[in-house]
Amino acid sequence: MKLTKVPNWIRKLKSGRIWDFSVLNNEVFLTFDDGPQPEVTDWVLDLLLKHEIKATFFCVGANVRKHPDIYARILNEGHAIGNHTFSHQNAWKTSKKDYLEDIDKASELIDSKLFRPPYGKISNALVKDIKEMGNEVIMWSILSYDFKTNLNTESQLKILKRKTSPGSILVFHDSMKSFHNLKKMLPSFIEYGKTQGWDFKRIELQ
């Protein structure tokens, strides 16, 4: 079953994570996972620059090592960055020791206390360990499904517009796998958000 908006019962069951924010104004938080990637991340950055908005990029350490110039551009243009492990580890298929070491390896390249688990897969116990390392686990309230092949982007875009509200954290992917769908959905979504008075912000924790 495809759940675009994470239901409250899942949020309560999976504690210790940030799923969205309580906001006083109309802030909405765009996030991008799996980059940086040539062409894709640059396209996203160009779009954000055009609209003068900020976002948060959860970067894979191996990709940061391969593409330091794109990573530097993310930072230079005022966006936030987060740790998405070094090698895009699945916590359900990796030992606790190896997973935490992979996060540490990524942190040598990614200076951030924001962490997002690849695939969204992580146990409550592991969340506790990661928070004890000084990190915050950032999930999402709205999933774009841009990674799905044969996605009906027109229908999905309507769902994203309907489900998003102030405080929402949306996840897209700056990866080649998602690029086709991303190009079809993201520009229209941003333009719609601006008509609704949404203020697209990067994630900043106090």
Which are the catalytic amino acids?
A: 33, 173
Contact 100, 50 (CB under 8 A): no
Neighbours of 90 (CB within 10 A): 13
What are 79's two structure tokens?
């966006």
Site of tokens 């909405």: 28
Collapsed DSSP state (helix, strand, coil) of residue 119: helix
CA-to-CA distance for 88 and 106, rounded, in angstroms?
10
Distance CA 118, CA 124 (A): 15
Cβ atoms within 10 Å, residue 51: 13
The two tokens of residue 138 are 């950032």
> Where would I find the H helices in the chain?
8-13, 40-51, 61-66, 68-76, 96-107, 124-132, 153-163, 176-195
